Amino acid sequence: MSEVKRYPRPLISLIQADIPNWHVDLYIGESAGVSDPDLLREFGIKVVLNCAVNLDINLVSQPEANRPAGVFDYGSGPVRYYKVGLIDGPGNTPEMMFAGYCMLKSALDQTIPDKPSYKNRDKGNVLVNCRGGRSRSVTVVAIFLHLEFPQLYPTLDAAIHHIRQTRELHPDEWFETPKPQMIELAQATVTMVKTLRQSALLPSPESSSSGFVDLKSEQASFTE
């Protein structure tokens, strides 16, 4: 079996600017992007959601004083950091993908207390990452865009297509960006959320697509 060709892409890509209601920008990135403090500052990123169970990032820039000797650093970093442990392929449960959507939305909605131990209280842009920024993170963001802004992304496929363009994923990669197992879990999550909304167990979105910066006019065309 021949090896799948890999194509270059940005370390971090803007997926949607100035999201209504939250008024922050939403990015997708890979491991080298999320671990670059200069890039995080450049893009004004204050919230990171890591979707990869097989990727750990040491973001601690202010270790807590008087921690025991011989332990890993713990404390605070330049961003608020969240993680959901998705596998890029078979092996996930539907609840894990549902958790990814809930965590992204909750990170946007969360109110950080004004206490000394909560050092990252600033509102800022959001980066969703996995190892390559091409499958797990794409799936979680696609679910979010479709469920929160159905006027602009009426289907899950529409959201995925938008992300493939703005993330600059080559058409030759689309069969695995995201992987089929991720899309199946995404469809299950969409059904789950819509069912919960119909039962009034989750709130329906109050969002509007008005005010979106249209990135589609800037979508790149790719050639081999």
Model confidence at 224, in pLDDT bands (50, 70, 90)?
very low
Assess contact for 138 and 185: CB atoms under 8 A. Answer: no
Q: Which residue(s) pair with 83 in the sheet?
A: 50
Residue with more model confidence, 219 or 142: 142
C-alpha–C-alpha distance, residues 172 and 164, integer Å: 11
Mean pLDDT of 36-40: 97
Q: Which residue(s) pair with 215 in the sheet?
A: none
**Strand ranges in the chain using DSSP code E only, listed in sequence order:** 12-16, 26-29, 45-52, 62-63, 75-76, 80-86, 125-129
3-state secondary structure of 141: helix
- What DSSP assignment string belongs to 25-56? -EEEE-HHHHT-HHHHHHTTEEEEEEEETT--
pLDDT exceeds 90 at position 216: no
Confidence (pTM): 0.90
Consecutive H or E run containing 206: none
pLDDT value for 205: 87
pLDDT in tens, 76-128: 999 999 999 999 999 999 999 999 999 999 999 999 999 998 998 989 999 99
**Nearest Cα residue to 15 out of 107, 102, 115, 129:** 129
Chain-centre distance for alpha carbon 85: 13
CATH of 12-61+72-199, one of 3.40.50.2300, 1.20.120.450, 2.70.50.60, 3.90.190.10: 3.90.190.10
Residue with more model confidence, 141 or 221: 141
Assess contact for 86 and 130: CB atoms under 8 A. Answer: yes
pLDDT value for 221: 40
Other C-beta atoms within 10 Å of 117: how many? 8
Pull the structure tokens for residue 115: 């206490």
pLDDT exceeds 70 at position 211: no
> Angle 136-148/180-198 helices, nearest 10 degrees?
30
Q: What are the sequence ranges of the domains in the chain?
A: 12-61+72-199
